Amino acid sequence: MFVVGDVHGHRDVLVELLCGEGLVDGSGRWTGRDARVWLVGDLVDRGPDGIGAIGFVRGLEDESGGAARCLLGNHEALLVAVHRFSADETTVPGLTFHDLWKLNGGVDRDLRELTDEDVAWLARRPPLARDGDWLILHADTPAYLELGGTVDRVADATGAALTHGSADDVDRLLEIVSDRMRLDDPAAVDALLGAYGGSRIVHGHTPIAAVRGVEPRVVTGPLVYAGGRVTNVDHCLFAGGPGFVTRLGNGSPPEA
C-alpha cells in the first residue's frame, strides 16, 4: 500500500511521484495493477492547478477500479464551503467563508473552474479510512470522533454537512477537519484506534518541515513518531518540498 501527502495544486509533481513508483505511466495512466494508493487530501489551494489535481485523481480512481482513493482534506471542505456559502460569516470574527479561504491559500482559478461534478465528488470523500492495520487520516487529530464512532458514520456525517448542511454545519465541520498536532498524546491515538480500528495511524495536514523546524526542501521521507504508532506524510509541496511517496507494510516501517 502506498500513501501520498498533501498535493496543494501540484498536479504535475503528483504524476511524477506516482510514475517514479510505477503506479502510473508518463502520461498519468494507471499502471499500478494490484497496488493500493491513498491520497490523504488537500489536492487544492496554494498551488498552480488544484482543479487539474482533482481531475487527475478522479480519473485515476476510475482507471484503477478504486485501487487509488483520496480522502477529504480541510482545503477541499473549505473550497466546497466557499462554493456554497461564500459571503456567509464564519465563527472567526469578521471573516466570511471567502475571506477564510483566501487567508488559507485559496486560488481564484480553483473556485472559478470548480464544477458541480467536482463538488459532488469531493462531498463523497471520507476524511478517514481503514486499510488493514492502518488508520488513514487527513488531519492529525482525534476531533473526528465528534463526527461518529465508526469510519462509515464519519463519512456519512461529513457528506451530509457538505451536501445539504447549513453554513453553521459546514463551519463546525471545518473546525474539526482543520484541527492538528494532537497525536503526540497516547490517549488520543488510543481513542482513534479503539474507535476506528487498526494498530497504526498515517496522516498528512501538518507539514513535516514545520514539525522538525527545517526547510521543506530537505524533507524526503515520512516522520514516524508517537512510539512508532503514527506516521506523518505531509511533504510540504506548496513550500518547495521535493515530495515523496510512502510505502506502508503490515509489520514493517514506512519506506519513502
Q: Provide the residue type at 211 as one letter.
A: V
- In whole angstroms, give the CA distance from residue 72 to residue 15: 19
Percentages helix, strand, coil for the chain (3-state, rounded to 5) are 45, 15, 40
Per-domain residue ranges of the chain:
2-255
Q: Are 235 and 214 in contact (CB under 8 A)?
A: no
Average pLDDT over residues 98-107: 98
Q: Are 185 and 179 in contact (CB under 8 A)?
A: no
Continuous H helices in the chain? 11-20, 50-63, 74-85, 97-103, 108-113, 116-123, 151-164, 167-178, 186-196, 208-212
pLDDT tens figures, 176-199:
999 999 999 999 999 999 999 999
Mean pLDDT over each residue of the chain, to the nearest integer? 97
- In whole angstroms, give the CA distance from residue 51 to residue 122: 11
Task: Take residue 178 and report the three cell numbers written for it.
Answer: 482543520
- Give Cα 119 distance to the centre of its chain: 16
Residue of 160, 145, 204 whose CA lies nearest to 5: 204
Q: According to the model, what pLDDT value does residue 178 have?
A: 97
Alpha carbon of 25 to those of 19, 31, 89: distances in Å?
5, 6, 45
What are the beta bridge partners of residue 203?
232
pLDDT tens figures, 43-96:
999 999 999 999 999 999 999 999 999 999 999 999 999 999 999 999 999 999
Q: According to the model, what pLDDT value does residue 254 have?
A: 82
Q: According to the model, what pLDDT value does residue 160 have?
A: 98
CATH number for the region 2-255 comes to: 3.60.21.10
pLDDT tens figures, 119-155:
999 999 999 999 999 999 999 999 999 999 999 999 9
Confidence of residue 253 (pLDDT cuts 50, 70, 90): low
Task: Take residue 205 and report the three cell numbers written for it.
Answer: 495536514
DSSP 30: B
Distant-in-sequence, close-in-space partners of 224: CB < 8 Å, separation ≥ 6: 230, 231, 232, 253, 254
pLDDT at 170 over 70: yes
pLDDT at 255 over 80: no
